[in-house]
Amino acid sequence: MQSLNKVQLPGTARYDIARVRRAATAFFAIDGFIFASWAVRIPAVKLAAHASSASLGLALLGLSGGAVATMTISGALCRRFGSHRVIVAAGVLLSLALLLPTLARSPLWLGLALAAFGTGYGCLNVSMNSLAVDIVAALRRPVMPYFHAAWSFGGLLGASVGGLLAPHLAPLPDFVLVAAAGLAVTAVCGRVILRYPLVVDHAAAADRPAAGVARGSIWRVVLIFGLIAACSSYGEGAIGDWGALHLRQDLGAGAGLAAAGYAAFALAEASGRLAGSWLLAHLGQTRVLALGGLTACGGMLAAALAPSLGVALVGFALTGLGVANMFPAAMTRAGLLAGPNGVAVASTLGYTGFLLGPPMIGFLAASVGLRAGLTTVSLLALVAAVLAWRAER
């Protein structure tokens, strides 16, 4: 916590920090809203692009590739220009790039469109998490779970609106409305974070080793928490991109009901994150992570192998509760151990799992079926529980 003394606030007061916090929360929410709006319309976009399950998996790899490639340079962009400026640019890019997949009429063009969408998504996620770390340092309170709860509530709203509009609007006019909302949030909240930039000296925190612990051991633990984040976000990405298709293809749900799976997941995840600080304080990090992994494992098995729509929805909700605090807890622990560099490593691994999960599910769906592919979410949730126990030891 020594780095907290390095916080320098331009302007006066906590009032400025409060405004920046609200603006950052809005960016987390609109990011989840845009992604969920895309996710629940995947079946329609897949049909328009004449894509099979295998070719859709390849196209989704374009999204992953664009996002991961951008993440490797987004940290440098944030250091060079400031995370507040990068957030604004990425918000505009992500909103406009959402329109591109609806114009694709082949799997190849869909993959290229998703690469552009992934570029905006990766850049916004790295930059807004960087700003969130600065806010946590400035406030000296563990508010990270609340930012991720905003992302989940944004995803819930996006899934709900997308489900309501799916029977009435084609993807393009639907996404035009979503893009307009993204641009509006970027314009309003972007002014706030540009007006009140937080300047935090991260150098001391990044170089600070834990007392009495070898530096190599610290980074091994950081990697473990990065893998926990990857395992949990793998499931989040898989449900986002394949949940609606599973309910429609395997259980015969209509276009509107197909969106209910992701909505159930997002609502449960958001609720779990709102309670995240209390759970961590009363149960401890290891129990929260281990119990979360076991809950997600059982929930996803139920969702993937469900004989009926109701059972699948309950399974998605349990999965959301299970993974709710795994990613925020991993970010927090990595930051306490190794400062902002630890957060960067853990978040990159986490978002890599989030983005690589969907194409992996696509390949498995083509070879062994979508139900079997989704069971890999359960396996990795179990791996996360084991890693949490290992990190504690």
Provide the total of helices (H) and of strands (E) in the chain, helices listed first. Answer: 16, 2
3 state DSSP class of 325: coil
- CA 136 to the chain's CA centroid: 19
Q: Taking Cα atoms as reference points, which of 38, 57, 36 lies closest to residue 97?
A: 38
* Better-predicted residue by pLDDT, 171 or 143: 171
Give the pLDDT of residue 335.
Answer: 66
Q: What is the pLDDT of residues 356-376, one digit of tens each?
A: 788 888 888 888 889 999 999
Give the pLDDT of residue 34.
Answer: 96
Please, which residues bridge with residue 259 across strands?
none
State the residue for tokens 């001391």. 204
Q: What is the pLDDT of residues 191-236, one digit of tens each?
A: 999 988 876 554 444 444 444 456 667 888 889 999 999 999 898 8
Phi, psi of 210 (to 5 degrees): -65, 145
The conformation of residue 167, written as its DSSP 8-state character, comes to: T
Please, which residues bridge with residue 7 across strands?
200
Give the pLDDT of residue 4.
Answer: 39
Give the pLDDT of residue 242.
Answer: 86
Residue-wise DSSP of 273-292: HHTHHHHHHHH-HHHHHHHH
State the residue for tokens 């609200």. 22
Q: Taking Cα atoms as reference points, which of 249, 246, 248, 243 lies closest to residue 264?
A: 243
Q: Among 83-92, 253-262, 285-294, which range has the highest average pLDDT?
A: 83-92
Q: What is the pLDDT of residues 323-359, one digit of tens each?
A: 999 988 887 777 667 655 676 778 788 888 887 788 8
160/201 Cα distance (integer angstroms): 41
- pLDDT greater than 80 at residue 12: no
* Better-predicted residue by pLDDT, 352 or 116: 116
Q: Among 177-186, 358-367, 380-389, which range has the highest average pLDDT?
A: 177-186
106/238 Cα distance (integer angstroms): 22
344/309 Cα distance (integer angstroms): 39
* Better-predicted residue by pLDDT, 162 or 241: 162
- pLDDT greater than 60 at residue 39: yes
Q: Is residue 392 exposed (0-12), middle (13-18) or buried (19+ Cβ within 10 Å)?
A: middle
Contacts with 8 (C-beta within 8 Å, 6 or more apart), sequence order: 199, 200, 201
All domains of the chain, ordered by start, with CATH? 2-392 (1.20.1250.20)
Q: Share the mean pLDDT of the chain.
A: 84
Phi, psi of 192 (to 5 degrees): -65, -50
Percentage, residues of the chain above pLDDT 90:
38
Give the pLDDT of residue 234.
Answer: 92
**pTM beyond 0.75, yes or no:** yes
